[in-house]
Amino acid sequence: MGKNDRSQPHLKSRRQFLKLGLAGTAGLWLTGKSLETRGQVRSQTLSPPSDYGPLFASPPINVVKVGFVGVGGMGSVHVRNFLNIDGVEIKAVCDIVEEKVARVQKWVEEAGFPRPEGYSAGPWDFKRMCEEEDLDLVFTATPWEWHVPVCVTAMKNGKHAATEVPAAVSLEECFELVETAEKYKKHCVMMENCCYDRVELMSLNMVRRGLLGEIVHAAGGYLHDLRAVKFSNVGEGLWRRQHSWKKNGNLYPTHGLGPVAQCMNINRGDAFDYLVSMSSPALGLHLYAEEKFGPDSPQAKEKFALGDVNSSLIKTRSSRTIILIHDTNLPRPYSRIHLLQGTKGILQKWPDRIYVEGRSPEDDWEDIEKYAAEFEHPLWKKLAQKGEGRGHGGMDFIEDYRLIEALRTGQPTDMNVYDAAAWSVVSALTEKSVAEGSKPVSFPDFTRGRWKTTPPLGIIEG
């Protein structure tokens, strides 16, 4: 059930599912203020379980048996990574495109492992895989609408779950992930690879060692010209553009938000409190379609709700602030911003620069590389070479390695289901704020108060 082309079987059924999902989301906003009310009431009335929480750890697994759902672009990257990590066996693979299943089966056999079972009998065949296969972990890299169905099905069948980003696309889905993980005592991890990029890891090391003082403000985002991707006839072009038809907010918040949230101890001493959000006009996709396909083309006649640039401001319970940007419909170079500002200094990526009071030249930026020898993160030192050529400069390999290491050693995962929910729910909350004239919208507390006593994420040694 990965990213495929228009000629493949089962595409119609997946598109029908997508349309139903979008229609349901549109209906949600007709309830107006009920979104925020439901989130707050649910946070306050659900009792946190005594045997599951942010530091949940499952019994160690010597060899992690994995089933993959969706082996298109990113799914294939993760398969390749897992084939190069000790203590992993890929036992099953599911995709609505049989050729993609066969390709992964061949890779696994060429790596010297037994041929995994294949599942390609329609969009819901992952359910049969979860019911039949003896698996420890189910990993999904499907279109967004399928992340929660796959993860929930996996956990209900006794498997841990891992998903590509975002983990969920609605408030209800975020709560469903949290409640299912707590009920069945399983990990549910959103694989936010940007938390493992080099500068982001170095930033975490700097923050933990006090170089920037107390962090009071941050900025992040996803600024990426995706016009060609959204109008492609293959891969994400088959489904991603459709989210822009009815939704107006930050549809892809976690790449920019995840790394700064870790540095600011979100869900681990602090928590998101509320946000306000606003969007620019929606012009970019229409203009691109006119220029690329002609003014009378079906693409040029599509109507888009998604503003080209969405800007949001998040306030935390400790009164710290985060600026978050979503910008995917206009011509521009890539950036995730990644800014951290503390009482002793400031760091920014794109461009990579830092200023530390009393250490940097007065009122002058320095190149972050000057600090690398002292603050390079231990994980990057250990794994960067192994991750070369394995996805997004190596960070994909590191995130996959860390997930497997946690499962094999019985340690808490670096990111948990509460992070997945808190980072992903931004999409739903920004949509509500934009729709209501940029009114503040409160975050639900998925941890139910346990963020107050959960210790910060440490400097992961690996």
CATH code of residue 160: 3.40.50.720
Under a CB-based contact definition with an 8 Å cutoff, are residues 262 and 338 in contact?
A: no
What does the pLDDT average to over 331-337? 98
Same domain, 312 and 178: no
Same domain, 99 and 232: no
User: What local confidence, expressed as pLDDT, does residue 238 receive?
Assistant: 94
Sheet architecture: strand order including 366-367:
366-367, 353-356, 345-348, 339-342, 215-223, 321-327, 309-316, 272-279, 441-442
Asked whether residue 402 is domain-assigned, the answer is: no
What does the pLDDT average to over 330-335? 98
> CA 189, CA 56: separation in Å to the nearest integer?
12
> CA 421, CA 167: separation in Å to the nearest integer?
7
Asked whether residue 462 is domain-assigned, the answer is: no
> CA 125, CA 177: separation in Å to the nearest integer?
20
Tokens of 79: 């398969």
Helix/strand/coil for 343: coil
User: What local confidence, expressed as pLDDT, does residue 462 receive?
Assistant: 62
User: What local confidence, expressed as pLDDT, does residue 153 receive?
Assistant: 98
Please, what is the average pLDDT of the chain? Answer: 92
Tens-digit pLDDT profile for residues 185-232: 999 999 999 999 999 999 999 999 999 999 999 999 999 999 999 999
Under a CB-based contact definition with an 8 Å cutoff, are residues 58 and 159 in contact?
A: no
- The dihedral built from the CA positions of residue 281, 260, 441 and 54, taken in this order, carries a sign that is positive
CATH code of residue 250: 3.30.360.10
Residue partners of 395: CB distance under 8 A and separation at least 6 = 193, 194, 195, 196, 197, 198, 387
Under a CB-based contact definition with an 8 Å cutoff, are residues 56 and 185 in contact?
A: yes
Cα of 411 vs its chain's centroid, Å:
21
Tens-digit pLDDT profile for residues 261-290: 999 999 999 999 999 999 999 999 999 999
Same domain, 158 and 254: no
**418, exposed or middle or buried, with CB in 10 Å at 0-12, 13-18, 19+?**
buried
Predicted confidence band at 461 (pLDDT cuts at 50, 70, 90)?
A: confident
What share of the chain in percent tops pLDDT 70?
A: 92
Asked whether residue 6 is domain-assigned, the answer is: no
Same domain, 290 and 420: yes
**Could you write out the DSSP letters of every residue in 410-421?**
TPPPSS-HHHHH
Under a CB-based contact definition with an 8 Å cutoff, are residues 174 and 424 in contact?
A: yes
Tokens of 294: 């002609």
Beta strands in 214-282 (DSSP E): 215-223, 272-279
Asked whether residue 287 is domain-assigned, the answer is: yes
Q: 136, 168, 193 — which closes off a domain?
A: 193
Asked whether residue 328 is domain-assigned, the answer is: yes
Same domain, 107 and 58: yes
Tens-digit pLDDT profile for residues 165-191: 999 999 999 999 999 999 999 999 999
Give the pTM. 0.92
Q: Which amino acid is residue 449, in one-letter code?
A: G
Q: Is 80 a residue whose pLDDT tops 90?
A: yes
Residue 70 Ramachandran class (φ > 0 left, ψ -120 to 50 alpha, else beta): left
Tens-digit pLDDT profile for residues 244-267: 999 999 999 999 999 999 999 999
Distance set, CA 229 to CA 65, 168, 235, 237, 256 (Å): 33, 21, 8, 6, 20
Q: The domain containing residue 353 runs over which residues?
A: 195-378+416-452
Residue partners of 21: CB distance under 8 A and separation at least 6 = 145, 169
Helix axes 395-409, 378-387, angle to 10 degrees: 110
Asked whether residue 438 is domain-assigned, the answer is: yes
Asked whether residue 439 is domain-assigned, the answer is: yes
DSSP for residue 390: S
Same domain, 144 and 286: no
Same domain, 180 and 220: no
Under a CB-based contact definition with an 8 Å cutoff, are residues 61 and 458 in contact?
A: no
How many domains does one find in the chain?
2
What does the pLDDT average to over 61-74? 98
User: What local confidence, expressed as pLDDT, does residue 218 receive?
Assistant: 99
Q: Is 3 a residue whose pLDDT tops 50?
A: no
Residue 98's nearest CA partner among 73, 79, 125 is 125
Q: Is 338 a residue whose pLDDT tops 70?
A: yes
Q: Is 395 a residue whose pLDDT tops 80?
A: yes
> CA 31, CA 432: separation in Å to the nearest integer?
10
Tokens of 137: 């972990």
Q: Is 29 a residue whose pLDDT tops 50?
A: no
Higher-pLDDT residue of 45 and 210 is 210
Same domain, 39 and 146: yes
Same domain, 35 and 73: yes
Residue 412's nearest CA partner among 188, 262, 134, 163 is 188
Asked whether residue 384 is domain-assigned, the answer is: no
Q: 193, 209, 224 — which closes off a domain?
A: 193
Q: Is 160 a residue whose pLDDT tops 90?
A: yes
Helix/strand/coil for 28: helix
User: What local confidence, expressed as pLDDT, does residue 391 receive?
Assistant: 66
Tokens of 150: 């796959």
User: What local confidence, expressed as pLDDT, does residue 21 receive?
Assistant: 43
Same domain, 183 and 224: no
Predicted confidence band at 369 (pLDDT cuts at 50, 70, 90)?
A: very high
What does the pLDDT average to over 357-370? 97
Bridging pattern class, strands 321-327 and 339-342: unpaired
Q: Is 129 a residue whose pLDDT tops 60?
A: yes
Q: 153, 172, 193 — which closes off a domain?
A: 193
How many residues make up the chain in this entry?
Answer: 462
Tens-digit pLDDT profile for residues 294-312: 999 999 999 999 999 999 9
> CA 374, CA 69: separation in Å to the nearest integer?
40
Under a CB-based contact definition with an 8 Å cutoff, are residues 269 and 262 in contact?
A: no
Q: Is 4 a residue whose pLDDT tops 50?
A: no
Q: Is 390 a residue whose pLDDT tops 80?
A: no
- The dihedral built from the CA positions of residue 163, 168, 174 and 177, taken in this order, carries a sign that is negative
Same domain, 422 and 307: yes
> CA 181, CA 13: separation in Å to the nearest integer?
28
Q: Is 121 a residue whose pLDDT tops 90?
A: yes
Bridging pattern class, strands 366-367 and 441-442: unpaired
End-to-end Cα, the chain, rounded Å: 32
Distance set, CA 72 to CA 25, 75, 422 (Å): 26, 5, 27
Residue partners of 193: CB distance under 8 A and separation at least 6 = 391, 392, 395, 396, 399
Same domain, 149 and 219: no
What are the phi and psi torsion angles at 226 (to 5°)?
A: -110, 15
> CA 160, CA 177: separation in Å to the nearest integer?
12
Q: Is 23 a residue whose pLDDT tops 60?
A: no
Q: Is 12 a residue whose pLDDT tops 90?
A: no
